[in-house]
Structure 1
Amino acid sequence: MTKEMNLQKIEKKIQMACRTSKRKATDIKLIAVTKTIDALEMEELYQLGLRDFGENRTDSFLAKTAFLAAKKDITWHFIGTLQTRKVKDILTKIDYLHSLDRLSLAKEIEKRATTKIKCFLEINISGEEKKHGFTKEAAIQFVKTFSFQHIEIVGLMAMAPFTQDQKELHQVFRDLKQVQLEIEALKLPHVPCHELSMGMTNDYPIAIEEGATSIRIGRALVND
C-alpha cells in the first residue's frame, strides 16, 4: 500500500473510534513517527497534509529538522528517551517533548531553556521494568512540588504493553486517563495537564476510545 492509502486507512479507523466514544476526529492529533524513513519520505507525508512529526533519536531529529527547515508549519515532537547531555542540542527545535521521565531531565531543561517548553510527563502506567517514566504516585508528587518556570506540563504520555489483549489495553489507557484527570484537577501553575499522548500502531483505536488527544503512528503509516 502507498503512504496515501495507509493514511486513508488510519483516518477511517480514527473516525470509527471517535464514533464509538462520541468524540470528534478533529480533537485527535496524528503524529507521524518517522524513525524508519528518511527526510525525502517525510516530505512525501508533508505533501499528504501531515504537519506533526515525531522522532525518537537526537541525531535523526537534528538531521530531519535541518532538511525540512523551510517547512515552517511543521510541529516537531521529540518522543524518545532524551539523554540529559543532548538537551542543549534539540531544545530550541522542538515544539513538544513527549518523554519528560525524570527529575534530572526537568532540571536540565530548566537550566537550558529561555522560553516555555511544552512537555508530556511520561508515566510507566503498566509498571513494566523495561519502561521509562514516573509511577502514578511519583508523578503526582512531582507536580505538587513543581517549581520550574520554563516547563509546562501539557499532559501525560505512556506506552501500553505489547499485547493483543484488548481488555488489558483498555484498562491501561483508562488508568492513564484517570491520572491525567487527577493532576488536571489540582489546577497547578504550569501544569494544565489537559492532554494525553497514548496509542501507537497496534492500539491507537483503543487509546482514542479511552481519551487520547495525540496518537503516535509509525509502522501503519509508512510501511508499503
Structure 2
Amino acid sequence: MPFETALTEEDLRRNIAAIRARMDAACQRSGRSPQDVRLLPVSKTVPEERLRLAWAAGVREMGENKVQEAYGKWQAMRQDMPGLRWCLIGHLQTNKARLVAEFASEFHALDSLRAARALDARLQALGRSLDVLVQINTSGEASKFGLAPQEALAFMRELPAFASLNVRGLMTLAMHTTDEPQVRQCFALLRDLRDRLRQDAPQGAALAELSMGMSGDFEWAIEEGATTVRVGQAIFGARSLPDSHYWPEGKA
C-alpha cells in the first residue's frame, strides 16, 4: 500500500509517533533501549514548505541524497531554523565536496579515498570537521555504491590521514526485496563487520554507529543492531519518482 502524503503538521506528528512506536516495539523485541536508536527523517524531494511543517512538528535533523537539493534547502531555511542539522546520505561526486563541507553535519556514504581527500581539503579550509560513516555494499549488487566488506579494513586504515573526518561507523542499503532473511542478512553482515573493525581498525573505539534500515525494513534493521534508521516515505509520504532517480549512474 502506498504511503499517504503528509500535508499538515498534525499528519507529520501522527506519522512520526507511529514510526517511533514501531521502533520502540522493535527495540523491546531485541532487548535494546529505544534511546540507542535514532530516527533520521529523510526529506529528499520534499518541498521546503512541508519541511517547515516538519520543523514545527519537532524534526531537528533531515537526511538528503542529492547535494544540490540539500544545499538549496539549507540556504533557504538556515536563518529561520538555525538548529536544523542536515545529513547527506547519498553518493558524493567530488566536485560537490565544497558544498557538503559548508553545510552538512554528517555524511553517511563515504566509499572512496578520492571523496575523503576532497572533503578533508574543503573542511580544513573552513576550519570544520565532519562526522562520516563508511558505506558498505552488503548486498553484493553491482547497482549499489559502497565498498565490498573485504575492502573495509584497508580503507579504514587510510582514513586517519584526513584529520577533519570523524569516522563514526558504517552505513548500508539492504537488498531491495521483501524477503526478510535476505534483508536481515545484509544488516547482520554490517553489524558483524563493524564488530570486527572495532578490533582491527585505527578508529575502532569510535565505530559505534550502524546506519541501516528505511521505511520498508527499519524494524528488521533495529532488531539486527541499527543505531540510525533512515525513514522518508513513511513520514512524508510516497515519492513521485522511483528510487533509481536519486542515485547517480544508476547506483544506490
**Smaller-chain TM-score bracket:** over 0.9
Measured in 2, the distance between the counterparts of 1:22 and 1:124 equals 27
1:148 aligns with 2:167: no
Alignment: residue pair count: 224
Range with greater deviation from structure 2 (25-34 or 124-133): 25-34
Contact 2:173–2:213 (Cα < 8 Å) also in 1: yes
Q: Counterpart of 1:204?
A: 218
1:49 aligns with 2:25: no
Q: Counterpart of 1:131?
A: 144
Measured in 2, the distance between the counterparts of 1:150 and 1:170 equals 33
Q: How does 1:158-169 map to 2 (within 5 A)?
A: 158-169=172-183
Cα displacement (A) at 1:187:
5.6
Which of 11, 18, 21 in structure 2 is aligned with 1:9? 18
Seen in structure 2, the aligned counterparts of structure 1 residues 52 and 5 have a Cα distance that, compared at 3 Å, is same
**2:110 aligned partner, one-letter code:** L
**2:34 aligned partner, one-letter code:** A
Which of 17, 34, 39 in structure 2 is aligned with 1:25? 34
Seen in structure 2, the aligned counterparts of structure 1 residues 204 and 189 have a Cα distance that, compared at 3 Å, is closer
Measured in 1, the distance between the counterparts of 2:143 and 2:167 equals 24
| Structure 2 runs not aligned, ≥5 long | 5-10, 239-252
Contact 1:100–1:122 (Cα < 8 Å) also in 2: yes
**TM-superposition CA deviations, 1:158-216 (whole Å, max 9, x none):** 00011111111111101100111111223624872110000001100000111111111
1:109 aligns with 2:119: yes
Measured in 1, the distance between the counterparts of 2:187 and 2:122 equals 33
Seen in structure 2, the aligned counterparts of structure 1 residues 190 and 74 have a Cα distance that, compared at 3 Å, is farther
Q: Counterpart of 1:89?
A: 99
Range with greater deviation from structure 2 (155-164 or 45-54): 45-54
Measured in 1, the distance between the counterparts of 2:169 and 2:154 equals 15
Identical positions, percent = 29
**2:236 aligned partner, one-letter code:** V
Range with greater deviation from structure 2 (125-134 or 143-152): 143-152
| Structure 1 runs not aligned, ≥5 long | none
Contact 1:3–1:223 (Cα < 8 Å) also in 2: no
Contact 2:136–2:170 (Cα < 8 Å) also in 1: yes
Seen in structure 2, the aligned counterparts of structure 1 residues 131 and 187 have a Cα distance that, compared at 3 Å, is closer
Q: Counterpart of 2:75?
A: 66
| SS of equivalent residue, structure 1 residue 77 | strand
Measured in 1, the distance between the counterparts of 2:77 and 2:33 equals 30
Q: Counterpart of 1:221?
A: 235
1:37 aligns with 2:46: yes
Cα displacement (A) at 1:52:
1.6
Contact 2:22–2:219 (Cα < 8 Å) also in 1: yes
Measured in 2, the distance between the counterparts of 1:93 and 1:30 equals 20
Q: How does 1:169-184 map to 2 (within 5 A)?
A: 169-184=183-198
**TM-superposition CA deviations, 1:54-92 (whole Å, max 9, x none):** 111122111111122031222210011111000012212
| SS of equivalent residue, structure 1 residue 128 | coil
Range with greater deviation from structure 2 (187-196 or 8-17): 187-196
Q: Counterpart of 2:87?
A: 77
Range with greater deviation from structure 2 (213-222 or 144-153): 144-153
Contact 2:212–2:221 (Cα < 8 Å) also in 1: yes
